[in-house]
Amino acid sequence: MNDLIIQNIGQLLLPKATDKPLKGKELDELNIVENGTVVINDGKIVYAGSYTDEYEAQSVIDGYGKVVSPSLIDAHTHLVFGGSREHEMALKRQGADYLEILEGGGGILSTVEATRQASEEELFNQAAKNLTTMIQHGVLAVESKSGYGLNHENELKQLRVSRRLADRFNLDMKHTFLGPHAVPKEAESNEAFLQQMIDLLPEMKDYADFADIFCETGVFSVEESKRYMQAAKEQGFKVKIHADEIDPLGGLGLAIDEGAITGDHLVASSEEDKAKLSDSDTIAVLLPGTTFYLGKEDYADARGMLDNNGAIAIATDFNPGSCVTNNLQLVMSIASLKLKLSANEVWNAVTVNAAKAMDIDGGTLNEGDKANLVLWDAPNHEYILYHYGVNHAEKVIHHGQVRVDNHLEI
């Protein structure tokens, strides 16, 4: 006797299982089964496919012709931080850009101050509230970065909170040491601060899965980023990089050359670097919600990356300054509209490819997979992108158990 059957599914979305990320045209390949059935036992998928009545279970959920997919994966977040920065919206309305706000002591540095002042318990409670919202919206795997401590004590504090969240919520979480996220006021120089962060790498290996750096004008150069990434790899880290968000410095090319698991942002990446994606498994993690919030006209060239047979994923970049949303569904809609992605491409980018960007097993519903899935209150998978800004997740099923039930009887 199985634990649960979901029957009468209108569209069952079954991303392709793959050892490597889906690249180029593959991203538009999505198996959509009409009148589907999912069978779950002991937290694992027993069957996911066309209608069958060959199985029995203790519980049965009627899908009422709605959509079922793997749970969503948010592969780039800054989940743990102190304070908020709503006052910066007025500066943005007056035309101040990201770097101008940073130079004025705002931006990342104001969040650094708030994070340093917050206790570990305060950081945990704030992050737990935001993570709960993510789960309610269908996300069951999250990458969580540090980077608002910028010193030994507070970077560790962020990472400890991140690991506590993973234990408390029993989620697939990966933790990223982003010590070189900005240069703190007290630093003697960029070079001296970068060396401090490099010196922390051996200790951070006990708390973090990845090492990341912000390669951008006014922060860290390509050469400085290369030095950090190579030092991190020597300590056994897989590396990521915030790259080409504002200026085309060559961060994507560096990510590819260094074998980074991801290069993130990539709004200003060069044609030359995008062409290099063809021969690389580095995943371009695109963050269109950030471009939207910053009021920029130019978005990352997702179509160009796919035309170069690149691999892309979509994530929120949830943070208190440049993308203040933990609703991945909203970002999926922005990706469809502004990155010109098909519905199939978007769904693959937040499931199977996002799993590859986090280096986890997830994003698929094959026999033996973890039973992490969502029943969506929508007639088809395109509708969820079309009807934007609301929560379409009706039931979020985690390890075979209904963890969130948003169904309302009218």
Any alpha helices (H) in 83-238, and if so which ranges?
A: 88-93, 98-103, 108-117, 120-136, 152-169, 190-204, 222-234
Q: Which two tokens stand for residue 301?
A: 């060239």
Does the annotation place 281 within a ligand binding site? no
387 in a known ligand binding site: no
How far apart are the C-alpha atoms of 170 and 355, rounded to whole Å?
Answer: 17
Q: How far apart are CA 239 and CA 258, in angstroms?
A: 8
Q: Confirm if 159 and 146 have CB atoms less than 8 A apart.
A: yes
Residue 394 assigned as binding residue: no
Residue 242 is assigned to a ligand binding site: yes
319 annotated as a binding-site residue: yes
Distance CA 105, CA 114 (A): 13
Query: Would you say 203 and 235 are in contact if contact means Cβ atoms under 8 Å apart?
Result: no
E-assigned strand segments in 266-341: 283-286, 311-314
The dihedral formed by the CA atoms of 401, 161, 203 and 188, expressed in degrees to the nearest 10:
140
Instruction: Flag whether 263 is marked binding.
Output: no
Q: Collapsing DSSP states into helix, strand and coil, what is residue 292?
A: helix
Residue 163 assigned as binding residue: no
The verdict on whether residue 251 carries a ligand-binding annotation is no
Q: Which helix (H) or strand (E) holds 80?
A: none
303 and 62 Cβ atoms separated by less than 8 Å: no
CA 384 to chain centre: 18
Q: From 39, 46, 37, select the one nearest 7 (Cα to Cα).
A: 37
CB 378 within 8 A of CB 71: no
Secondary structure (DSSP) of 25-65: GGGG--EEEEEEEEEEETTEEEEEEE------EEEEEE-TT
Q: Which amino acid is at 84?
A: S
Does the annotation flag 152 for ligand binding?
A: no
Report the binding-site residues: 76, 78, 85, 148, 181, 242, 245, 317, 319, 321-322
Report the binding-site residues for Zn(2+): 76, 78, 242, 317
Report the binding-site residues for N-formimidoyl-L-glutamate: 148, 319, 321
Report the binding-site residues for 4-imidazolone-5-propanoate: 85, 148, 181, 245, 322
